[in-house]
Amino acid sequence: MAIKFRKIEYPGICAWIFLLFILNSQSISAAECHKSGVKIIFDTDMLTDCDDTAALGILHKLADAGEVEILATMVTSSYPMSAPVVDVINTYYNRPYIPIGVPKNDSGVYRDNSSFLDSVAMEFPHRLRSNMEAPDAVALYRKILSEQKDSSIVILTVGYMSNLQSLLKSLPDSSSSLSGMDLVRKKVKLWVCMGGNFPVDDASDNVNFTRDPDAAVYTLTHWPGKILFAGREIGHTIFVGDRLKETPLNNPVRRAYQLHRERAKNGHWNHHTADPTAVLLAVRGISNYWTLSDYGYVDIKKNCSFVWKGHSEGYQQYIIQKMDRKELGEILEELMIMSPNKH
Protein backbone atom coordinates (compact mmCIF):
# COMPACT_ATOMS: atom_id res chain seq x y z
CA MET A 1 0.00 0.00 0.00
CA ALA A 2 1.35 3.40 -0.95
CA ILE A 3 2.51 5.62 1.89
CA LYS A 4 2.65 9.40 1.82
CA PHE A 5 5.61 10.63 3.81
CA ARG A 6 5.05 13.67 5.94
CA LYS A 7 7.56 16.02 7.45
CA ILE A 8 7.38 15.63 11.23
CA GLU A 9 8.21 18.73 13.21
CA TYR A 10 9.71 18.59 16.71
CA PRO A 11 9.18 21.84 18.58
CA GLY A 12 11.29 23.16 21.44
CA ILE A 13 14.18 21.25 22.92
CA CYS A 14 13.28 18.08 21.04
CA ALA A 15 13.89 19.91 17.77
CA TRP A 16 17.46 20.68 18.81
CA ILE A 17 18.03 17.12 20.01
CA PHE A 18 16.61 15.73 16.79
CA LEU A 19 18.74 18.07 14.68
CA LEU A 20 21.87 17.20 16.63
CA PHE A 21 21.35 13.50 16.07
CA ILE A 22 20.60 14.00 12.40
CA LEU A 23 23.87 15.88 12.04
CA ASN A 24 25.63 12.95 13.63
CA SER A 25 23.81 10.53 11.28
CA GLN A 26 22.08 8.81 14.18
CA SER A 27 18.47 7.92 14.87
CA ILE A 28 16.44 8.88 17.91
CA SER A 29 13.17 7.85 19.42
CA ALA A 30 10.89 10.77 20.17
CA ALA A 31 10.05 9.01 23.41
CA GLU A 32 13.55 9.80 24.61
CA CYS A 33 13.04 13.53 24.26
CA HIS A 34 10.98 13.44 27.45
CA LYS A 35 12.38 10.75 29.70
CA SER A 36 10.57 12.11 32.74
CA GLY A 37 7.02 13.28 33.10
CA VAL A 38 5.82 11.77 29.83
CA LYS A 39 2.15 12.54 29.23
CA ILE A 40 0.48 9.33 28.09
CA ILE A 41 -2.94 8.24 26.90
CA PHE A 42 -3.08 4.48 27.43
CA ASP A 43 -5.31 2.53 25.02
CA THR A 44 -5.94 -1.16 25.77
CA ASP A 45 -8.23 -3.92 24.56
CA MET A 46 -8.46 -5.34 28.14
CA LEU A 47 -10.24 -8.41 26.93
CA THR A 48 -8.57 -11.78 26.43
CA ASP A 49 -5.07 -11.45 27.85
CA CYS A 50 -3.90 -10.79 31.41
CA ASP A 51 -0.78 -8.89 30.32
CA ASP A 52 -2.98 -5.83 29.75
CA THR A 53 -3.55 -5.70 33.51
CA ALA A 54 0.20 -5.95 34.16
CA ALA A 55 0.89 -3.23 31.61
CA LEU A 56 -1.53 -0.85 33.30
CA GLY A 57 -0.12 -1.75 36.71
CA ILE A 58 3.43 -1.01 35.54
CA LEU A 59 2.25 2.29 34.07
CA HIS A 60 0.86 3.23 37.48
CA LYS A 61 4.12 2.33 39.22
CA LEU A 62 6.06 4.49 36.76
CA ALA A 63 3.57 7.26 37.55
CA ASP A 64 4.26 6.72 41.27
CA ALA A 65 7.93 7.31 40.46
CA GLY A 66 7.13 10.56 38.67
CA GLU A 67 8.15 9.23 35.25
CA VAL A 68 4.75 9.55 33.61
CA GLU A 69 1.43 11.32 33.87
CA ILE A 70 -1.52 9.15 32.89
CA LEU A 71 -4.01 11.42 31.12
CA ALA A 72 -6.60 8.76 30.32
CA THR A 73 -7.13 5.02 30.01
CA MET A 74 -9.01 4.10 26.84
CA VAL A 75 -10.57 0.74 25.97
CA THR A 76 -11.09 -0.75 22.50
CA SER A 77 -13.13 -3.73 23.69
CA SER A 78 -16.93 -3.65 23.72
CA TYR A 79 -17.10 -6.42 26.31
CA PRO A 80 -19.18 -4.97 29.17
CA MET A 81 -16.59 -5.63 31.89
CA SER A 82 -13.53 -4.27 30.06
CA ALA A 83 -13.85 -0.70 31.31
CA PRO A 84 -14.79 -1.80 34.85
CA VAL A 85 -11.56 -3.81 35.11
CA VAL A 86 -9.54 -0.81 33.94
CA ASP A 87 -11.40 1.10 36.66
CA VAL A 88 -10.48 -1.62 39.17
CA ILE A 89 -6.78 -1.26 38.43
CA ASN A 90 -6.87 2.55 38.45
CA THR A 91 -8.63 2.37 41.82
CA TYR A 92 -6.17 -0.16 43.27
CA TYR A 93 -3.26 2.13 42.37
CA ASN A 94 -5.06 5.08 44.00
CA ARG A 95 -5.96 6.90 40.78
CA PRO A 96 -9.71 6.30 40.49
CA TYR A 97 -10.08 9.76 38.96
CA ILE A 98 -8.33 8.86 35.69
CA PRO A 99 -10.94 9.12 32.92
CA ILE A 100 -11.86 5.99 30.98
CA GLY A 101 -13.16 6.06 27.42
CA VAL A 102 -14.84 3.25 25.51
CA PRO A 103 -15.84 2.70 21.87
CA LYS A 104 -19.37 3.71 20.98
CA ASN A 105 -21.52 3.18 17.89
CA ASP A 106 -20.33 -0.42 17.46
CA SER A 107 -16.77 0.70 16.75
CA GLY A 108 -15.07 -1.62 19.28
CA VAL A 109 -14.14 -5.29 19.15
CA TYR A 110 -16.46 -7.72 20.93
CA ARG A 111 -15.67 -11.26 22.02
CA ASP A 112 -18.18 -13.11 24.14
CA ASN A 113 -15.94 -14.42 26.92
CA SER A 114 -12.92 -13.63 29.05
CA SER A 115 -11.05 -15.79 31.54
CA PHE A 116 -10.73 -13.04 34.14
CA LEU A 117 -12.75 -9.87 33.47
CA ASP A 118 -16.06 -10.88 35.09
CA SER A 119 -14.44 -12.20 38.26
CA VAL A 120 -12.06 -9.25 38.70
CA ALA A 121 -14.88 -6.76 38.15
CA MET A 122 -17.05 -8.57 40.70
CA GLU A 123 -14.38 -9.01 43.39
CA PHE A 124 -12.60 -5.64 43.54
CA PRO A 125 -13.66 -2.04 44.30
CA HIS A 126 -14.47 0.28 41.39
CA ARG A 127 -17.19 2.64 40.20
CA LEU A 128 -18.12 1.74 36.61
CA ARG A 129 -20.68 -1.04 36.42
CA SER A 130 -20.18 -1.63 32.69
CA ASN A 131 -18.80 -0.08 29.52
CA MET A 132 -22.17 1.61 29.11
CA GLU A 133 -21.36 4.02 31.96
CA ALA A 134 -18.07 5.22 30.46
CA PRO A 135 -17.86 8.14 28.02
CA ASP A 136 -17.14 7.87 24.33
CA ALA A 137 -13.43 7.30 23.72
CA VAL A 138 -13.26 9.61 20.69
CA ALA A 139 -14.92 12.49 22.53
CA LEU A 140 -12.54 11.95 25.46
CA TYR A 141 -9.52 11.78 23.16
CA ARG A 142 -10.53 15.04 21.52
CA LYS A 143 -11.11 16.80 24.84
CA ILE A 144 -7.77 15.73 26.30
CA LEU A 145 -5.78 16.47 23.15
CA SER A 146 -7.30 19.93 22.87
CA GLU A 147 -6.31 20.76 26.45
CA GLN A 148 -2.64 19.82 26.14
CA LYS A 149 0.34 21.68 24.69
CA ASP A 150 1.30 21.09 21.08
CA SER A 151 3.41 18.00 20.39
CA SER A 152 3.28 16.96 24.04
CA ILE A 153 1.37 13.68 24.16
CA VAL A 154 2.41 10.06 23.70
CA ILE A 155 -0.39 7.71 22.71
CA LEU A 156 0.30 4.13 23.74
CA THR A 157 -1.80 1.35 22.23
CA VAL A 158 -1.53 -2.19 23.57
CA GLY A 159 -4.65 -3.39 21.81
CA TYR A 160 -6.65 -2.68 18.69
CA MET A 161 -6.69 0.56 16.72
CA SER A 162 -10.46 1.01 16.69
CA ASN A 163 -10.38 4.20 18.75
CA LEU A 164 -7.56 5.74 16.74
CA GLN A 165 -9.32 5.13 13.45
CA SER A 166 -12.43 6.83 14.80
CA LEU A 167 -10.33 9.67 16.19
CA LEU A 168 -8.63 10.32 12.87
CA LYS A 169 -12.01 10.39 11.11
CA SER A 170 -13.65 12.62 13.72
CA LEU A 171 -15.00 16.06 12.85
CA PRO A 172 -14.75 19.36 14.75
CA ASP A 173 -16.78 19.43 17.96
CA SER A 174 -17.21 21.45 21.13
CA SER A 175 -13.70 20.50 22.29
CA SER A 176 -11.84 21.59 19.17
CA SER A 177 -12.48 23.21 15.81
CA LEU A 178 -9.87 20.90 14.29
CA SER A 179 -10.54 17.63 12.51
CA GLY A 180 -9.26 14.50 14.20
CA MET A 181 -6.38 14.27 11.74
CA ASP A 182 -5.30 17.86 12.41
CA LEU A 183 -5.74 17.49 16.16
CA VAL A 184 -3.47 14.45 16.22
CA ARG A 185 -0.94 16.18 13.99
CA LYS A 186 -0.85 19.18 16.30
CA LYS A 187 -0.90 17.56 19.74
CA VAL A 188 0.62 14.08 19.52
CA LYS A 189 4.38 13.72 19.73
CA LEU A 190 4.57 9.96 19.28
CA TRP A 191 2.39 6.91 18.89
CA VAL A 192 3.89 3.81 20.52
CA CYS A 193 2.14 0.79 19.01
CA MET A 194 2.35 -2.70 20.48
CA GLY A 195 1.76 -5.01 17.56
CA GLY A 196 3.18 -6.60 14.46
CA ASN A 197 6.08 -8.98 13.95
CA PHE A 198 9.15 -7.39 12.43
CA PRO A 199 10.48 -7.18 9.80
CA VAL A 200 8.02 -9.52 8.02
CA ASP A 201 4.56 -10.48 9.25
CA ASP A 202 2.25 -13.01 7.59
CA ALA A 203 -0.63 -11.96 9.90
CA SER A 204 -0.99 -15.43 11.40
CA ASP A 205 0.04 -14.21 14.88
CA ASN A 206 -0.78 -10.52 15.04
CA VAL A 207 -4.06 -10.13 16.91
CA ASN A 208 -3.72 -6.43 17.67
CA PHE A 209 -3.94 -5.83 13.93
CA THR A 210 -6.13 -8.68 12.70
CA ARG A 211 -9.04 -8.45 15.17
CA ASP A 212 -9.94 -5.06 13.70
CA PRO A 213 -8.11 -5.15 10.36
CA ASP A 214 -9.88 -2.17 8.79
CA ALA A 215 -8.85 0.02 11.73
CA ALA A 216 -5.26 -1.25 11.64
CA VAL A 217 -4.79 -0.66 7.92
CA TYR A 218 -6.47 2.73 7.95
CA THR A 219 -4.63 4.04 11.01
CA LEU A 220 -1.19 2.78 10.02
CA THR A 221 -1.47 4.30 6.55
CA HIS A 222 -3.02 7.63 7.60
CA TRP A 223 -1.31 8.47 10.89
CA PRO A 224 0.08 12.02 10.52
CA GLY A 225 3.10 11.60 12.77
CA LYS A 226 5.79 9.35 14.14
CA ILE A 227 5.09 5.72 15.04
CA LEU A 228 7.35 3.50 17.14
CA PHE A 229 6.49 -0.21 17.16
CA ALA A 230 7.07 -2.67 19.98
CA GLY A 231 6.81 -5.85 17.94
CA ARG A 232 5.52 -9.15 19.23
CA GLU A 233 8.93 -10.70 18.58
CA ILE A 234 10.17 -8.72 21.61
CA GLY A 235 7.60 -9.32 24.36
CA HIS A 236 6.67 -12.79 23.16
CA THR A 237 10.17 -14.01 24.01
CA ILE A 238 10.18 -12.70 27.61
CA PHE A 239 7.98 -14.51 30.15
CA VAL A 240 7.33 -13.35 33.71
CA GLY A 241 4.48 -13.17 36.21
CA ASP A 242 5.05 -15.98 38.66
CA ARG A 243 6.26 -13.54 41.32
CA LEU A 244 2.78 -12.01 41.43
CA LYS A 245 2.06 -14.89 43.81
CA GLU A 246 4.13 -12.91 46.33
CA THR A 247 1.74 -9.95 46.23
CA PRO A 248 -1.34 -9.41 48.44
CA LEU A 249 -4.64 -11.07 47.62
CA ASN A 250 -6.23 -7.65 47.10
CA ASN A 251 -4.04 -7.06 44.03
CA PRO A 252 -6.32 -7.29 40.95
CA VAL A 253 -3.35 -7.89 38.63
CA ARG A 254 -2.46 -10.93 40.74
CA ARG A 255 -6.03 -12.19 40.46
CA ALA A 256 -6.14 -11.64 36.69
CA TYR A 257 -2.99 -13.70 36.25
CA GLN A 258 -4.29 -16.41 38.55
CA LEU A 259 -7.52 -16.74 36.59
CA HIS A 260 -5.88 -16.50 33.16
CA ARG A 261 -2.99 -18.82 33.96
CA GLU A 262 -5.07 -21.55 35.62
CA ARG A 263 -5.07 -23.12 32.16
CA ALA A 264 -1.30 -23.63 32.37
CA LYS A 265 -0.68 -27.27 33.24
CA ASN A 266 2.64 -26.65 34.97
CA GLY A 267 1.12 -24.33 37.58
CA HIS A 268 3.24 -21.24 36.95
CA TRP A 269 1.89 -17.82 36.04
CA ASN A 270 4.70 -16.76 33.73
CA HIS A 271 3.30 -15.14 30.63
CA HIS A 272 4.56 -13.11 27.69
CA THR A 273 5.30 -9.41 28.23
CA ALA A 274 4.17 -7.83 24.95
CA ASP A 275 2.12 -5.08 26.59
CA PRO A 276 4.41 -4.41 29.58
CA THR A 277 7.32 -4.03 27.15
CA ALA A 278 5.42 -1.35 25.24
CA VAL A 279 4.74 0.55 28.47
CA LEU A 280 8.42 0.61 29.37
CA LEU A 281 9.26 1.82 25.86
CA ALA A 282 6.65 4.58 25.89
CA VAL A 283 7.81 5.93 29.25
CA ARG A 284 11.57 5.39 29.25
CA GLY A 285 12.38 5.29 25.56
CA ILE A 286 14.87 2.77 24.24
CA SER A 287 17.30 3.37 27.16
CA ASN A 288 19.68 0.39 27.39
CA TYR A 289 16.85 -2.01 26.60
CA TRP A 290 16.60 -1.78 22.82
CA THR A 291 18.05 -0.24 19.69
CA LEU A 292 16.05 1.22 16.82
CA SER A 293 15.57 0.16 13.25
CA ASP A 294 16.26 2.61 10.47
CA TYR A 295 13.32 4.76 9.44
CA GLY A 296 10.78 3.20 7.12
CA TYR A 297 7.19 2.00 7.15
CA VAL A 298 5.02 -1.11 7.28
CA ASP A 299 3.85 -1.95 3.78
CA ILE A 300 0.56 -3.45 4.94
CA LYS A 301 -2.10 -5.40 3.05
CA LYS A 302 -5.83 -5.64 3.76
CA ASN A 303 -5.37 -8.89 5.71
CA CYS A 304 -2.78 -7.08 7.91
CA SER A 305 0.21 -9.01 6.60
CA PHE A 306 3.12 -6.69 5.94
CA VAL A 307 6.77 -6.31 5.13
CA TRP A 308 8.98 -3.61 6.56
CA LYS A 309 10.35 -1.20 3.98
CA GLY A 310 13.21 1.08 4.84
CA HIS A 311 12.91 4.62 3.58
CA SER A 312 15.04 7.65 4.39
CA GLU A 313 11.95 9.84 4.55
CA GLY A 314 9.89 7.37 6.56
CA TYR A 315 8.56 8.28 9.98
CA GLN A 316 8.11 4.82 11.50
CA GLN A 317 10.61 2.67 13.43
CA TYR A 318 10.57 -0.55 15.43
CA ILE A 319 12.67 -1.65 18.39
CA ILE A 320 15.35 -4.36 18.31
CA GLN A 321 16.31 -6.28 21.44
CA LYS A 322 19.58 -5.16 23.05
CA MET A 323 19.46 -6.04 26.77
CA ASP A 324 19.56 -9.68 27.80
CA ARG A 325 15.97 -10.91 27.81
CA LYS A 326 16.21 -12.43 31.29
CA GLU A 327 17.51 -9.16 32.70
CA LEU A 328 14.75 -7.15 31.03
CA GLY A 329 12.18 -9.63 32.31
CA GLU A 330 13.42 -9.11 35.86
CA ILE A 331 12.99 -5.33 35.48
CA LEU A 332 9.43 -5.77 34.24
CA GLU A 333 8.49 -8.27 36.92
CA GLU A 334 9.91 -6.10 39.70
CA LEU A 335 7.64 -3.28 38.53
CA MET A 336 4.70 -5.70 38.33
CA ILE A 337 4.92 -6.74 41.97
CA MET A 338 5.42 -3.31 43.56
CA SER A 339 2.66 -2.14 45.89
CA PRO A 340 0.77 1.08 45.12
CA ASN A 341 1.96 4.32 46.66
CA LYS A 342 -0.27 5.89 49.25
CA HIS A 343 -1.51 9.19 47.83
Q: What residue spans define the domains of the chain? A: 37-337
pTM: 0.89
* 132-180 confidence digits (pLDDT tens): 999 999 999 999 999 999 999 999 999 999 999 999 999 999 999 999 9
The predicted pLDDT at position 224 comes to: 98
* 56-107 confidence digits (pLDDT tens): 999 999 999 999 999 999 999 999 999 999 999 999 999 999 999 999 987 6
The predicted pLDDT at position 114 comes to: 82
**Tally of residues, the chain:** 343
Under 8 Å between Cβ of 187 and 146:
yes
CATH dotted code for 37-337 = 3.90.245.10
